Amino acid sequence: MKIMTCFAHPADTVTNCGGTLARHADAGDEIVAVILTHGGRIHPNKYAEEWRRENPDDQITAASILEIAENKKRELERAADVLGIGELVLLDHDDTMATVHEDVVEQVAEQIAIHAPDVIIADYPQNPVVTLSSHTVATMTLLAALERAQTFLRNVDGRAEVNVKQVFFSGNPVLVGDSLSAYGQRADCYIDITGTVGRKIAAMDCFPSQGYDGDFARKVVESNNGEHGRYAGVNFAEAYTRFRNETHTLLPLTEHARSQDYLTRHRDYSVINLREQFPVRRGE
């Protein structure tokens, strides 16, 4: 299977679906990560911490947007190696992006045409009417690009149409255990990342410039992936909402659902000792 991810900022790929990507990389699947902005303005923690010090390091506080973006690119490359992302496509737009731009839609459509992924992972577009979130803008750009990639004509555009089979939205904040509790608004698909959670943490540790390393990486995984895990009945999970309906020949019942013992599973999935298993290395 070929997976494409499409997110606004460099670290989004890791926080949203890093554990899932590591599992697919282990299974031999190809992964290409498309990132729309250089992320130079978002989470400038390292720089902010420095300019709040009494005697700040001029080298750090004088960093230009290009230098900050360049540093983040190197952090992302290290994280991609940890997770098994085979290719990074950095479109390098400024992260002030507040609306969908035709030229960016065209760029993303071109990447879809080049890579012809089977599935795409993107942020859940929380409220497409309010463009205050660049994550939502990124996904609206992707959805427009998906449609454009479907209209490529080999004789006109020099390339054939691409029909991506499924899009998995990550980051839908609504956590419920069934399809009725919140009128259908929910994550409806979970990936058990218990086996790759250490690599997700290690990949987040690659982003000290935005304060994603160390304690914060463990906090995110414990709380966010831990809570998704509770709904999924496993230690740690990443949650998705499927864009398209699925067709089966028989009513689907997963191996996981068959194997669950609902009276005892909470004992197993509640064992969490991330700080012992993946200790923060201080002073490095």
Which of these ranges, 4-12, 156-164, 196-204, 239-247, lies near Zn ion under the rule CB under 5 A? 4-12
Q: Shortest Cβ distance from residue 15 to Zn ion (Å)?
A: 8
Residues numbered 18 to 37 that lie near Zn ion (CB under 5 A) are none
CA–CA dist 218, 225 (Å, integer): 10
DSSP secondary structure letters along 151-180:
T--HHHHSS------EEEEE------SSSS
Which C-beta is closer to Zn ion: that of 97 or that of 174? 97
Which C-beta is closer to Zn ion: that of 15 or that of 111? 15
**Cα Rg of the chain (Å, integer):** 20
By C-alpha distance, which of 201, 185, 275 is closest to 239? Answer: 185
Q: Shortest Cβ distance from residue 166 to Zn ion (Å)?
A: 22
Which C-beta is closer to Zn ion: that of 139 or that of 235? 139
* Of 6, 12, 213, 237, the one binding Zn ion by CB under 5 A: 12
Which of these ranges, 2-10, 125-133, 230-238, 247-255, lies near Zn ion under the rule CB under 5 A? 2-10
Which C-beta is closer to Zn ion: that of 59 or that of 127? 127
Continuous H helices in 151-281: 154-157, 197-204, 215-220, 226-232, 255-259, 265-269, 274-277
Q: Shortest Cβ distance from residue 62 to Zn ion (Å)?
A: 25
Which C-beta is closer to Zn ion: that of 9 or that of 199? 9
Residues numbered 256 to 275 that lie near Zn ion (CB under 5 A) are none
Position 116: which residue type?
Answer: A
Q: How many residues bind Zn ion (CB under 5 A)?
A: 2
Q: What are phi and psi of 89, to 5 degrees?
A: -115, 105
Q: Shortest Cβ distance from residue 100 to Zn ion (Å)?
A: 17
* Of 9, 72, 218, 228, the one binding Zn ion by CB under 5 A: 9
CA–CA dist 29, 167 (Å, integer): 16
By C-alpha distance, which of 129, 159, 163, 131 is closest to 146? Answer: 163
Residues numbered 208 to 267 that lie near Zn ion (CB under 5 A) are none
By C-alpha distance, which of 79, 82, 83 is closest to 29? Answer: 83
Q: Shortest Cβ distance from residue 227 to Zn ion (Å)?
A: 20
**H helices then E strands: how many in the chain?**
13, 7
Q: Shortest Cβ distance from residue 38 to Zn ion (Å)?
A: 12
Q: Shortest Cβ distance from residue 60 to Zn ion (Å)?
A: 22
CA–CA dist 130, 120 (Å, integer): 23
How many other C-beta atoms can be found within 10 angstroms of the C-beta atom of residue 55? 6
75 is a site residue for Zn ion (CB under 5 A): no
Which of these ranges, 6-14, 16-24, 74-82, 96-104, lies near Zn ion under the rule CB under 5 A? 6-14
Which spans of this chain sit near Zn ion (rule: CB under 5 A)? 9, 12
